[in-house]
Amino acid sequence: MPIDLKQIVAARLGENYDLHDKYLNRTLVKVQRMIGFDKVYARAEGAYLYDREGNDYLDFLSGFGTFNIGRNHPVVNKAIRDILDLDLPNMVQMDSALLSGLLSEALVKRLALQGAPHLDAVFLCNSGTEAVEGALKFAKAGTGRPRILSLKNSFHGLTHGSLSATGNPYFHEGFGPLVGGVSSITLDDLGILEAELKKGDVAALIVELVQGKGVFYYKDDTYARAQALCRKYGTLFICDEVQTGLGRTGKWFAFEHWGLEPDIVTLAKALSGGYVPAGAIITRRAIYQKTYSRLDRCIVHSTTFGRNNLACACGLATLAVLEDEKLPENAATQGAELERQLLALQEKHEIIKSVRVKGLMAAIEFAEPKGLSPKTLALRAGWKAIHALDDTLFPQLVVTPLLSKHRILSQVAANRVDMVKILPPLVVGQKEIDRFITALDDVLDGMKKFPGPIWEMGGNFFKAMKAGAPKAAEEQETVMA
């Protein structure tokens, strides 16, 4: 008998976390339960998730930036249904399919409109990390050089090559030795970059123009000067736009903010429309052809699912939605409003150290307050108490009540930094921005009561972490045995 997924989901919705605990990532389930993120979402639409009781949750995480056009967009939904109705041959492999050609054409045309007509050759893949892996290979083939430079604090993916380019040691732990020939630097002193480039063996510098782990970016001409140095020494300039691309920063591509001319751009996440994984590498034709340099090397870099019809249909529909609904422009407008209101909150709450916003990427960083008012002293006492227990807990004390009390999904931005990050879908308006600001204001007001519920929650988190540690050690011993 055919499988009836509607019936199965209706009957078993609610078993989610038990199933994951038994068959998938048990540690992640423990964390989700501990911090109150073990919600059971029954449906989703636009900027909202809904539980089984119909309560709405404002999704200011958007699948780590996957849902730029919102969840379950009807245009993408229809595109998938249309392709399924056509019964097209899919992934024949020894052919050149229409839809992958159409998506590649659309990407090249869009990049030309955004000031990058030189990017005229496309490789389609499935994910951000796969796009980065391919970009590094293209750079090495295109230059004949062995080394890669990236920036400290960067995130480029978690497969071995892209992990090696990720300039954050937190993600490296336990996975060494990493791929050789990769170094992470800063651009604070461009003399460091030039010293590396002078060696003549650097294939590419790969850059997240707005770093996902903390929304850090250079506001001046640093990127342009770095690109000029790359040109001078024959090194390619790669823009990793997996999270920043397709409207996220208030322009179609982040490189537009700085007037850059990258040699390679990587895309993924939002290109999928949130339905079928989709990624892309877009580069200069000359670089592309150096990778596929002979007839016997026509598939020297390939991926089985990269040109599949469903992913390409999603990509085409997503590009159409972004343009038709002017979502990059909306990201710029709503991002400016979000920044305005966050800066006003910073004036009110001295615990907010800084606010960084680029389009609809935003990070709120916190620091110990220094004032002497009774409320500030109480807040400082809570801050010191929590950091004495564990220096990673504080941002969770913001994120958890945002979800549990205000039904807003956000995230801790970075390891061992007191920072919260939001990535609203690009479909949000004034209502959603106001709801988030009101909720954050309320959470920060609640921190001015010490002792109080929020600080007590931090203590409970710490106890749960400690209680879980012995069992984790036992499990590790079992694995080693």
Mean per-residue pLDDT, 228-247: 98
Domain ranges in the chain are 75-324, 327-469
**Fold: same for 75-324 and 327-469:** no
Reduce the DSSP state of residue 411 to 3 states and report it.
strand
Q: Is the pLDDT of residue 468 over 80?
A: no
What own/partner pairs with CB < 8 Å and gap ≥ 24 does 255-259 have?
255/116, 255/209, 256/114, 256/115, 257/209, 257/358, 258/209, 258/221, 258/223, 258/224, 259/115, 259/224
Tokens linked to 63: 């699948």
Question: Dihedral through CA 302, CA 304, CA 310, CA 315, nearest 10?
Answer: -20
Predicted TM-score (pTM) of this structure? 0.94
8 A C-beta contact, residue 227 and residue 278: no
Burial label, 144 (beta-carbon count in 10 A; 0-12, 13-18, 19+): exposed
3-state SS, residue 51: strand
Q: What is the arithmetic mean of pLDDT over 331-350?
A: 98
Tell me what the mean pLDDT of segment 341-357 comes to: 97
Q: Which architecture, in CATH terms, is 327-469?
A: Alpha-Beta Complex (3.90)
pLDDT tens digits, one per residue of 1-59: 789 999 999 999 999 999 999 999 999 999 999 999 999 999 999 999 999 999 999 99
pLDDT value of position 473 = 46
Contacts (Cβ under 8 Å, ≥6 apart) of 228 = none
Q: Does residue 265 sit in helix, strand or coil?
A: strand
**Which pLDDT belongs to residue 465?**
82
> Which residue is associated with the tokens 């709801």?
435
pLDDT band with cut points at 50, 70 and 90 for residue 372: confident
- How high does pLDDT run on average in the chain? 95
Gyration radius of the chain over CA positions: 23
Cβ atoms 464, 34 nearer than 8 A: yes
Confidence of residue 470 (pLDDT cuts 50, 70, 90): low
pLDDT beyond 70 at 474: no
Q: How confident is the model at residue 480 (pLDDT cuts 50, 70, 90)?
A: very low
* pLDDT over 60 (residue 138): yes
Cα–Cα distance, 152 to 207 (Å, whole number)? 10
pLDDT of residue 365: 97
pLDDT in tens, 167-218: 999 999 999 999 999 999 999 999 999 999 999 999 999 999 999 999 999 9
State the average pLDDT over residues 444-456. Answer: 91
Q: What is the pLDDT of residue 466?
A: 83
Neighbours of 333 (CB within 10 A): 15
Q: For residue 357, what are its two tokens? A: 């916003």
Q: How many CB atoms lie within 10 A of CB 160?
A: 12
For a pLDDT cut of 90, what percent of the chain falls above it?
Answer: 90
Residue 274: pLDDT over 50: yes
Measured in Å, how far apart are the chain's first and last C-alpha atoms?
Answer: 44
Out of 202-206, 379-383, 430-434, least confident range: 379-383
Going by pLDDT thresholds of 50, 70 and 90, the confidence category of residue 478 is: very low
75-324 classified as CATH 3.40.640.10: yes
Can you give the pLDDT at residue 481? 37
Q: What is the pLDDT of residue 469?
A: 65
